Amino acid sequence: MRGAELALLGPLRLSGKLCFNTTRKKRRTWKVRPVRGLWNFFGGREEATDSISFSKQSGYHELELPSFLPLLVQDTFLADKELKCCYKASLDGFSAYKFHGCTDFKGPCVVLGVTRGGLRFGGFNPLGFRSTDDYYDTFKAFLFYCPQGDSPPVILPKVGGSGAAIFDYARGGPQFGADGLLIGPPLVPVMGGLSGPDPNKGEGDLSQAKSRLGLSYACRPDGKDSIFGDDKKATVVEIEVFTCPAIRDMY
């Protein structure tokens, strides 16, 4: 029997021993991983790291939605839909590339900004963002702002036809109309094609915004031609973008 056993073990020593040992190591590692997962799940040392990873994988921030949001979208594609925040500038960054990295191909969305003075403002993009360096026509886009206090948001509809309602520049933040509301516009002209400025430079800073109403979006009810009131420009301290995960899955 010993000779037969050696005859059988011979080939394993020449070609199979290392493979057998490697397989054992892989199995041993695999058995340990669920234990680490359970330890983290029940409050182990690496729980925070796992939570951050899950947040990145889900692509959404878990936060309380603004109370006026359902009223704002009641006549849009997002009515009665579950909404989540896919971009939060104070956490994800104020650069245009960070913005598009979080919002592109997420479907129709609400952009909500807050100025240094506390004014809440934004717009509804029914087409979503895709970094196409192009503009799109639609009557369904609108701007809005929230007066001080508990007043509901004031909606500023598209005027002057449906043309050029949404601009989707990869190096810029959200832009409604040629001049209605620009948040972090590109720092150099967007020319397209093979000529023009380096496309990797000149990205916009979403902490800066400007507005001129009347040509592409309606003026405020008080007659002011800027969404910011008396100021044409504003410093933005926060931007959040809300989308519907169910619609995003269709892209």
117 lies in the same domain as 235: yes
Q: Is there a single domain that holds both residue 13 and residue 84?
A: no
Asked if residue 197 and residue 237 are part of one domain, the reply reads yes
- Cβ neighbours for 130, distance < 8 A, ≥ 6 positions apart: 104, 105, 168
User: Using alpha carbons only, what angle is made at residue 165 by residues 245 and 202, rounded to the nearest 5 degrees?
Assistant: 80
Q: What is the DSSP letter of 217?
A: B
pLDDT string in tens for the chain (251-residue length): 444 444 444 444 444 444 444 444 444 333 333 333 323 322 333 333 333 333 455 689 999 999 999 999 999 999 999 999 999 999 999 999 999 999 999 999 999 999 999 999 999 999 999 999 999 999 999 999 999 866 789 999 999 999 999 999 999 999 999 999 999 999 987 665 444 555 567 999 999 999 999 999 999 999 999 999 999 999 999 999 999 999 877 76
The pTM for the full model equals 0.75
Write out the residue range of the structural domain in which residue 229 sits: 60-248
Residue 27 shares a structural domain with residue 103: no
121 and 103 co-located in one domain? yes
* 23 and 111 co-located in one domain: no
Residue 156 and residue 143 in contact, taking contact as beta carbons nearer than 8 Å: yes
Specify whether 67 is located in the same domain as 163. Answer: yes
